[in-house]
Amino acid sequence: MTASKTLTLAAAATVVAGGLLSFGAFAADHPIKIGFAIAESGWMHNYDGPPFKAAVMKIEQINKAGGLLGRQIEYEVIDTKTERERSATAGAELVQSGVDLLVVSCDYDFGAPAALAGNQAKIISISQCAADPKMGVQGVGPYAFTANSAAQAEGIAIAEWAIKKLNLKAAYVLEDTTIEYNKSACAGFRAGWEAAGGTIVGEDSFKNDDPSIAAQITRLKNSAETPDNIFICSFTPGGASAIRQLRGAGIDLPILGNTAMVDNYWLNSVPGLKDFYLAAFMSLYGDDPRPQMNTFVEDHRARWSEAPVSSYSVLGYSLIEQWAHAVKKAESTDGEKVLGVMNGFSDEAFLVGPTSYSSDLHIQTNRPWLIMKVENDSFKAVEMYRNELTPDMNLLFRIGK
Amino acid sequence: MLHVLQVILDAIALGSLYALVALAIGLVFGVMKLINFAQGDYITLGAYSLVVPSASITPPLLFGALPVPAMIFSVVITCVILALATERIAFRPLRNSSPATLLVASFAVSYFIQHVTMLVQTGRPKSVGIGSQLANAVEIAGLRMPGVQILTMGVTLALLIGLVLFLKKTPLGVQMRAAAENFEMARLLGIRADKVIALAFVISGGLAAAVSMLLVVQTGTLDLRMGLMPVVIAFFATVIGGIGSLSGAALGGFLVGFVSVLLQTYLPADLRPSRDAFVFGLVILTLLVRPQGLIVTSAAKERV
């Protein structure tokens, strides 16, 4: 909030200075406003916080370089406190205060209420990292976007890569049914795996807060057909706990995971973990094959005195980058004009990777992934991989089988 | 055959864990008619005491860095102090209130502890690599036994025997049973309420510490909600077992854990995600058949 106030003051000072020079310049000089209806407290804060910091960094970079359309950008944050109702009021309040862009929480359930307010006022809203395609035209409205890729694409990418590069053929799918995100990632994996010629030899489910997955391990060990790998769609802490128990039970098969299991913070749970692979956005550990990602980490360290806590932060940076690019092209912050430009993005180059939108899809379905593996208690970049199978609407919305 | 034995072993291990939690809930309920939902937060805080309290997602170890006996001692002390503090500050002033008021108070205490923990530790799950050797399984005659499963069963058995001996053989234990049976009468006969209730909380803190360490060894993770599910299950367990009966609570906890592993194993794949619905369905069924619970105490009989 303090940062926002300082910025407002700075922007006001610019406006006053501009006004002194030429009164007519006022309209062009008044600042562009971005509203953040995100969680600054409650558990969601841990997912909203890192992309927000990176977004602020991008805003400051734009301002330093002379602003957007010659105007400075200011921002305001309203804390949703990880509550859906507050998300709605925060969104409405920000819309009333006249924001040009509304940034909402990292999750469909918590971001959509705010985004609805934006959509009604024909203001672009972008979720920092919802991986659910509903965070878009179908679930909110034509003005809603998400900076993330669809969870299905995570599953497809790691499935295709593992078949091609690790020569795996027989997968055992372990699905954490606690949240929809996992189910989407697993659905993507199944589709990608079978399309690439693999077979699924067994499946089981668990809940993120199950203290033990002993029963699932027993079933896996007694599987009629022996798998050559396990795909787990989950998130921490349950995902980490499941992998610990699998390895503890002496199951040394390669484990494939979904993107939520990225970053080193949970690796203490499974000391000496090997043969774990997933599709990630970027590496926080200086070995990303794209030099600009390593620069991003350094810039973040310079701005916030620490490297990004989560690799999801790059999505926050890039959503500002995408919107600013569209505003520049549209030469206006008008929602409808910006929407027109954004809907026309086709492999537009941004830090996070090539980005495409269309009038009916506001989420990425085949942005290239950084395949990462765990080695010596750290995630290591392996190579970039772009999924070949693009999930269709039925798979994205999990309609039918 | 081997498969069946393995399933039974898995089921006993989980049942033992739930029995420990249910025992603590049952004990406090016995002397105070309080269903203490904050028990889950004693577990959570006990686990978090292994690391230095900070916002860091990879915090250095605190009690977790100590040699094992000192670590166990420190975690137990942490949980006992927390349990006693909640009793003294929140529950003692409400001692003469209705069970419903007490229940609401325990929710308040639970939320309070959760949010303070979130403030200090942040809501992001953390990981700890304590006891990883214990998480590894040994194969005995084709049966897979993770060290932590054996440990859980051993600890439960030891604590259960210890508690029974304490309740039956020591003067304090007898006082406690008397208080659980008829609190007013026990007081009239000269048993000090404060002492007995405090003792129940000390034991429940100790049990929470045991559960927290077993959970950490099993999962390798710390999470704000890690104590929640075991306590919800333990609550149902005490109801099935016969509310107010300690052996009933332990039996109930054991059964719920046992049945949930059996369901996970034998339900068809499509129904497995709804496993908990079946578990709680069975809870309801048990209560319809035996509303007083599996083991009925004389105290409970009088109320009916």
Confidence category of residue A2, pLDDT binned at 50, 70, 90: very low
**Quick check: is B279 in a domain?**
no
pLDDT at B183: 81
Q: B88 to chain A, minimum CA–CA distance in Å?
A: 28
| Nearest-angstrom CA–CA distance, A349 and B42 | 50
**Quick check: is B248 in a domain?**
no
- Inspect the interface and report whether the beta carbons of B10 and A207 lie closer than 8 Å: no
Residue A24 pLDDT > 80: no
- Residue range B225-230: average pLDDT? 92
Residue A125 pLDDT > 70: yes
Residue A16 pLDDT > 50: no
Residue B140 pLDDT > 90: no
Average pLDDT along chain A: 92
**Quick check: is B167 in a domain?**
yes
- Inspect the interface and report whether the beta carbons of B265 and A218 lie closer than 8 Å: yes
| Nearest-angstrom CA–CA distance, A341 and A326 | 6
**Quick check: is B147 in a domain?**
yes
The minimal CB distance from A43 to the residues B123, B219, B221 is found for B123
Residue A322 pLDDT > 90: yes
Checking phi first, is residue B285 left (phi over 0); if not, alpha (psi -120 to 50) or beta?
alpha
**Quick check: is B160 in a domain?**
yes
Poorest-confidence range of A189-193, A368-372, B137-141? Answer: B137-141
Domains held by chain B: number: 1
pLDDT at B215: 95
Cβ neighbours of A212 in B, within 8 Å: 10, 13-14, 17, 149, 218, 261
pLDDT at B301: 53
pLDDT digits (tens, 9 = 90+) for B164-191: 899 999 999 999 888 887 888 888 999 8
The minimal CB distance from B10 to the residues A206, A218, A267 is found for A218
**Quick check: is B283 in a domain?**
no
CATH 3.40.50.2300-classified regions of chain A: 2-148+290-343, 151-286+368-396
pLDDT at A57: 98
- Inspect the interface and report whether the beta carbons of B135 and A267 lie closer than 8 Å: no
How would DSSP label each residue in A349-396?
--TT--B--BTTB-SBSS--EEEEEEETTEEEEEEEE--SSPP-HHHH
The ipTM value here is 0.90
Confidence category of residue B293, pLDDT binned at 50, 70, 90: confident
pLDDT digits (tens, 9 = 90+) for A391-401: 999 999 998 75
How would DSSP label each residue in A285-325?
SS--SSHHHHHHHHHHHHHHSS--SSTTHHHHHHHHHHHHH
Q: Please report the number of interchain residue pairs, chain A to chain B, with beta-carbon separation below 8 angstroms.
A: 133
Q: Is A215 on the interface with B (CB under 8 A)?
A: yes
Q: Is A313 on the interface with B (CB under 8 A)?
A: no
- Can you give the length of chain A in residues? 401
Question: Which residue is listed with tokens 């400075």?
Answer: A72
Residue A385 pLDDT > 50: yes
In chain A, the residue whose alpha carbon lies closest to the alpha carbon of B258 is A215
Q: Given CATH 3.40.50.2300, say whether it is the number of domain A2-148+290-343.
A: yes
Domain spanning A151-286+368-396, CATH class: alpha beta
In chain B, the residue whose alpha carbon lies closest to the alpha carbon of A41 is B119
Cβ neighbours of A240 in B, within 8 Å: 125, 127, 219-221
**Quick check: is B240 in a domain?**
no
If one compares A1 and A176, the residue with the highest pLDDT of the two is A176
If one compares A9 and B104, the residue with the highest pLDDT of the two is B104
Q: Is A199 on the interface with B (CB under 8 A)?
A: no
**Quick check: is B300 in a domain?**
no
Contact B209, B159 (CB under 8 A): no
Residue A1 pLDDT > 60: no
pLDDT digits (tens, 9 = 90+) for A176-235: 998 889 999 999 999 999 999 999 999 999 999 999 999 999 999 989 999 999 999 999
